[in-house]
Structures are given as structure tokens and as C-alpha cells.
């Protein structure tokens, strides 16, 4: 059973040195539908911002009553309507809030999507779109998210290179 109500409020939010901790995911899949795809077959899911006409990856506050992985999964479900497997952290970034003169600390993770829901908590406020990495680079205007995307793609390329090397050796 999936909860169709998004969490609201900031009374449970985590902070570090006065900076709100934000957790996000890069939801991804392979066009051919299997996990053995190549980077060329990679698609990532972006959503629109509620306040601006920009596209980004799902992200939001990390609450005191959840692990960082649980927060990443929750944000992907609430904002993008996808479920999946959270993979190892891509990094941590400091970024300025769009609405205030505050800085946040953002942690990003890849999320291998296993299920895409027809209904999700923020469906009425957000649209979602699967696209190539190249297109996501163009539409995502948040530098820290683009840096996370590059780290993710580099990580996948390294895995592919290792796989090719192990095939060549045998």
C-alpha cells in the first residue's frame, strides 16, 4: 500500500550547522527495460518545480524519523510517483535556496526505478518526464543537480568499462 499524501511542514526537518538537509534522487531506467542496459539506453526522470517553470530531480527535506535512504525514496514517491532501489550516495552539495537567503545541504542518490505509479501525492502539482541524460542536462538549471548527474553517468561509464574489460580478458 502506497501513501498518497505528501508530508508537509518542517517541524521534523534535519539541520546541520543551521542548513536544512535536503535529499534527492536521480530516478533512472534503461529503455530496453532491463538492468543490463548501457549508458546510451539510460533515461532519467525529471519533474517540474511547483514554484517555477523549471525542471529538476525530486528532492526535499530529510526528516528526523527516517534514514537518508527512506527520505530519498519518500521524495521520489511524493514528487515523481516512482518506487525503486536507492543506490550509493553521489555526493553532498551546498546550494542557495531559491526563495530565501539561506543555504541548504543537499545529498543526492541514484534511484533505479522498479515501479511507476499512475497516482502519487503531488500529481496535481507536478508533471514528470523521462528523458535522455543530454536533455536532462539542458532542462535542469540547478548546478548541484547537474553535478550529481555527471557523477552518476561517470559511475555508470566506469561500471561499463569494467564489464567490457572482464569480457575481453576471458
- CA-CA distance, 68 to 74, in Å (whole number)? 10
Instruction: Report pLDDT for 1.
Output: 46
Q: Can you give the pLDDT at residue 5?
A: 53
Whether the CB-CB separation of 77 and 113 falls below 8 Å is answered with: no
* Distance in angstroms (rounded) separating the CA atoms of residues 26 and 33: 17
Look at domain 15-169 and name its CATH class. Answer: alpha beta
User: What CA–CA distance (Å, rounded) separates 118 from 70?
Assistant: 21
pLDDT values of the chain reduced to their tens digit, one per residue, 170 residues: 455 555 555 678 888 888 899 999 999 999 866 556 666 689 999 999 887 789 999 999 999 999 999 999 999 999 999 999 999 999 999 988 776 678 899 999 999 999 999 999 999 999 999 999 999 999 998 999 999 999 999 998 877 666 555 544 45
Distance (Å, whole) CA 81 – CA 94: 26
> For the chain, what are the domain ranges?
15-169
* pLDDT of amino acid 163: 58
The pLDDT value given to residue 99: 67
pLDDT of the residue at 35: 59
Amino acid at each position: 500500500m502506497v501513501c498518497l499524501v505528501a508530508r508537509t511542514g518542517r517541524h521534523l526537518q534535519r539541520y546541520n550547522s543551521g542548513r536544512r538537509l535536503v535529499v534527492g534522487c536521480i530516478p533512472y531506467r534503461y529503455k530496453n527495460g532491463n538492468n543490463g542496459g548501457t549508458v546510451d539506453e539510460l533515461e532519467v526522470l525529471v519533474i517540474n518545480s511547483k514554484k517555477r517553470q523549471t525542471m529538476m530531480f525530486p528532492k526535499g527535506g530529510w526528516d528526523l524519523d527516517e534514514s537518508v535512504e527512506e527520505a530519498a525514496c519518500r521524495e521520489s514517491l511524493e514528487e515523481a510517483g516512482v518506487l525503486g532501489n536507492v543506490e550509493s550516495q553521489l555526493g553532498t552539495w551546498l546550494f542557495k535556496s531559491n526563495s530565501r537567503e539561506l543555504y541548504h545541504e543537499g545529498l543526492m542518490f541514484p534511484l533505479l526505478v522498479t515501479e511507476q505509479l499512475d497516482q502519487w501525492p503531488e500529481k496535481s502539482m507536478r508533471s514528470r518526464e523521462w528523458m535522455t541524460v543530454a536533455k536532462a542536462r539542458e532542462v535542469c538549471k540547478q548546478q548541484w543537480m547537474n553535478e550529481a548527474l555527471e557523477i552518476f553517468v561517470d559511475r555508470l561509464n566506469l561500471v561499463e568499462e569494467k564489464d567490457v574489460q572482464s569480457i575481453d580478458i576471458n
